[in-house]
Amino acid sequence: MSNKFYITAAIPYVNAKPHIGHALEFTQADVIARYHKLLGEDVLLLSGGDENALKNVQAAEKAGVPIQEFVDKNTQLFFDLTKKLNADFDVWQKGSDKEHHYVSSQELWKRCEKDIYKKAYHGLYCVGCETFYETEELDEKGECLEHPGKKLDEVEEENYFFRLSKYQDKILNLIESRELEIVPSERKNEVLSFIKGGLKDISISRSNERARNWGVPVPGDDKQRIFVWYDALNIYQSGVGFGWDEEKYYKWWPADVHVIGKGIIRFHAVYWPAFLLSAGLKLPKKIFVHGYYTVNGQKMSKTLGNVYDPIPLLEKYGADPLRYYCLAKTPPFTDGDFSEEKFVETYNADLANGLGNLVARVAKLCEKANVQGTKFNVGYGDESLSEIRKYLDEFRFDEGFRLVWGWISELDKQIEESRPWELEGEKLIEVLQSLVIGIKKISAALQPFLPETAEKILDQFSQTQIISQSPLFPRIK
């Protein structure tokens, strides 16, 4: 189906409530989805809950809560965050869904059985990453690079293994030829380096004892559970019908874009393609890899107590101010930093004094001159938005905002130079209508980025009579 566009955000672990980094990714994915809807495509946006991880089991035990109750509650917190961000997810697939996800993941296992074998294994396991590591992959202290300070578990058991090594050359060729595209190029090179270092077969199951009898059972072996990454990656398929609704699956698969954080690139760019190749299924077309958030210049850490919860901010100021910070003030491909101080500074400077002030000034001038709204509207396919389309195609959200804020500066300059408060008659109408057209172009461009704000502005300047309204962004004192 040539007109479809299927995008996924990563499936978050639900061992704790969401933080500001999840807000970043959900917003990025939503912008891409809204953009493709504006291009007239049939779009589906998916995420869900990675519920079968060992860390979820441990967190539930620590909380003294049954595991199903624990994951249900936490998964709902993530979905609630998407709603508060005005991120419109079409599918929210739970990993503990026995009716659809269990069936789907067992089907994927069966299709890969020619590459699955059983053997005894002894290795170091990071519960944070939910994966085994070789000694050379750890830091000088023998700790995980993603989770320093946490001791790795020494695990010895008999597991099922997947012949990852068999697919080394095939995956290498797919990435080098850009048939599987990884954005940005730095992340692509990182993956290529990892593959060229030699791929080893990987464990894809755990004993019931270590899994606490939680997770998707291995088909034909009631003593083992499917490894969490194998089943969590499959949420991208189980959520669109793989194994339970063939018509739906073949409409949407393959994914056009996976949106993920840099820490899980190996699973998405190496393991996942290998599973799909083994199963004889199509591969995703593109993987967009974003950086992490630090908070006040420090890596988020429960130990430091700086894991930032975005919900209070969203409840106080609404979705668009935080969406703006995530997109305009955060580099899409490298790490960004978040602080409430920077958020307030950005809000006042760019939203209250910038966009909000421009809209208020022009509306007041139009109201005073009794100017009617214009029916002029800009579509996302129009030539005037070609540059911003280019930025969105490349996931350069910050550059898109830079372009739009340049238009805001131009309109501010136009107001100062034309001095409409000193004009009257046809000349005044001509100047104001030009300003209205400029504002409607800005609001049209902002539709995928700041949907609520864009809708308010478009509505205000399309009325028979343009009148002043309450500020879009009241200044934060």
Which pLDDT does position 303 carry in this prediction? 67
Count CB-CB contacts under 10 A for residue 409. 11
Overall pTM > 0.75: yes
What number of residues does the chain have? Answer: 477
Decide if 295 contacts 310 (C-beta within 8 A): no
- Whether the per-residue pLDDT at 1 is higher than 60: the answer is no
Q: Classify burial at 94, counting beta carbons within 10 Å of its beta carbon; exposed 0-12, middle 13-18, buried 19 or more.
A: buried
pLDDT-based confidence at residue 152 (cuts at 50, 70, 90)? confident
- Whether the per-residue pLDDT at 133 is higher than 80: the answer is no
Which pLDDT does position 155 carry in this prediction? 78
pLDDT-based confidence at residue 145 (cuts at 50, 70, 90)? confident
Q: What is the mean pLDDT of the chain?
A: 94
> How many whole angstroms from its chain centre is CA 431?
41
- Determine the Cα–Cα distance for residues 340 and 310; give it in Å rounded to an integer: 10
Which pLDDT does position 325 carry in this prediction? 98
Q: 66 vs 306, which has greater pLDDT?
A: 66
- Determine the Cα–Cα distance for residues 56 and 35; give it in Å rounded to an integer: 34
Q: Which amino acid belongs to residue 420?
A: P
129 catalytic? Reply is yes
User: Which one-letter DSSP state was computed for residue 244?
Assistant: T
- Determine the Cα–Cα distance for residues 20 and 31; give it in Å rounded to an integer: 17
Strand order in the sheet with 153-162: 131-133, 116-126, 153-162, 202-203
Which pLDDT does position 153 carry in this prediction? 82
Decide if 248 contacts 93 (C-beta within 8 A): no
Q: Which amino acid belongs to residue 315?
A: E
pLDDT-based confidence at residue 407 (cuts at 50, 70, 90)? very high
**Tokens found for residue 249:** 């699956």
Its CATH class, for the domain covering 340-460, is mainly alpha
Of 302, 316, 375, 477, catalytic: 302
Indicate the domain borders of the chain.
340-460
**Tokens found for residue 56:** 């979820």
User: Which one-letter DSSP state was computed for residue 196?
Assistant: H
Decide if 359 contacts 472 (C-beta within 8 A): yes
- Determine the Cα–Cα distance for residues 6 and 19; give it in Å rounded to an integer: 25
Of 129, 188, 290, 326, catalytic: 129
- Determine the Cα–Cα distance for residues 258 and 281; give it in Å rounded to an integer: 16
Of 55, 100, 101, 126, catalytic: 126
**Rounded percentage of the chain residues whose pLDDT exceeds 90:** 84
Of 55, 101, 144, 441, catalytic: 144
101 catalytic? Reply is no
pLDDT-based confidence at residue 346 (cuts at 50, 70, 90)? very high
- Determine the Cα–Cα distance for residues 58 and 52; give it in Å rounded to an integer: 11
User: Which one-letter DSSP state was computed for residue 401?
Assistant: H
Q: What is the pLDDT of residues 82-107, one digit of tens each?
A: 999 999 999 999 999 999 999 999 99
- Whether the per-residue pLDDT at 127 is higher than 80: the answer is no
pLDDT-based confidence at residue 381 (cuts at 50, 70, 90)? very high
- Determine the Cα–Cα distance for residues 158 and 282; give it in Å rounded to an integer: 31
